[in-house]
Amino acid sequence: MLRSFVAFALKRKDRHVCAETAVAWSAKAKGQMQRHKRLRVVTRFAEYLRAENPRHEIPPQHVFHPHAHRPSPHIFSDEDIRHIVGGAARLGSPGSLQGKMYSTFFGLLATTGLRFSEAACLRFSDITPDGLIIRQTKFRKSRVVPMHPTTWAALERYLVDRHRIGADDFVFITQRRTRPSHGVALGTFRAVCDRAGVGRCPSGARPRIHDLRHTFAVRALERSPVGRDRVERHIVALTTYLGHARIESTYWYLERTPRLLKDIAAACEAVVAGAQP
């Protein structure tokens, strides 16, 4: 973003951050939220530079008012996921890689909580005995993601057929020998969900691939051990496993299911009663 802004500012012969230029550059974004994000980035940049040179101007705030609404996730049941993975396995013609690829891909997302882009960008060299190496993704952080033995087994079965194809070294490839795009994969995912009878979210929205990650996070929190110290360690570990930059991003999942809300209420009542939660 900053490189784009600087290029725009240089064309206007600016040598310092100019508030008018910052607003004009931000306004070039298509959506209101994106304009707000652009201006916020330039504002932080200007504040940093202004500490050494007061000629840099701080852009005005609240020029673009975002209307962000984080969609409510669809939390799948174990049976839902089995139907999705099984339905995906029946895609394509007999003997083709398509069904095996999508069933393994969706199953991996469901059992590891990986982001779509993280799974789609996996290469053969990222598969190690310790787990999957996720390289510098959303927050420029790399991590190792261990896998359950059943996930390992499913991935190894898929790799037997995948290695016969050759082509690029991406783990997951489509019939066109390219890694899956989000648009095509989403259409496939929703078609599989429709056939499996998974249906729509309570809000009326259709399920998203990202809901597999949401489901993983919620189920992991539901399996948290009892005791304040143990819960804290569990959440910190989950934050690292999911690749969150802040632990607050993991806390967001605490309100996603009635069971978690009930557990929170019980812990609060214990605190009020003077007992150790």
What is the CB-side half-sphere exposure of residue 180 using CA atoms within 13 A? 26
Distance separating alpha carbons of residues 55 and 93, to the nearest angstrom:
65
Contacts 24+ apart (CB under 8 A), 58-65: 58/19, 59/17, 59/19, 59/22, 59/23, 59/26, 60/19, 60/23, 63/23, 63/26, 63/35, 63/39, 64/26, 64/27, 64/32, 64/35, 64/36, 64/39, 65/32, 65/36
> Is 228 a known active-site residue?
no
Q: Out of 100, 115, 219, 256, pick the active-site residue.
A: 115
Q: Out of 16, 143, 182, 210, pick the active-site residue.
A: 210
Among residues 106, 98, 233, 260, the alpha carbon closest in space to that of 177 is found at 98
- If DSSP codes are grouped into helix, strand and coil, which group holds residue 208? coil
> Is 37 a known active-site residue?
no
Q: Out of 138, 176, 228, 230, pick the active-site residue.
A: 138
> Is 213 a known active-site residue?
yes
Q: Out of 83, 158, 253, 256, pick the active-site residue.
A: 253
Distance separating alpha carbons of residues 48 and 212, to the nearest angstrom:
39
> Is 115 a known active-site residue?
yes
Among residues 95, 118, 119, the alpha carbon closest in space to that of 107 is found at 119
> Is 206 a known active-site residue?
no
Q: Out of 213, 214, 219, 256, pick the active-site residue.
A: 213
> Is 148 a known active-site residue?
no
Let me know how many helices (H) and strands (E) the chain has, helices first. Answer: 12, 3
Among residues 26, 184, 33, the alpha carbon closest in space to that of 101 is found at 184
Residues designated as active site: 115, 138, 210, 213, 244, 253
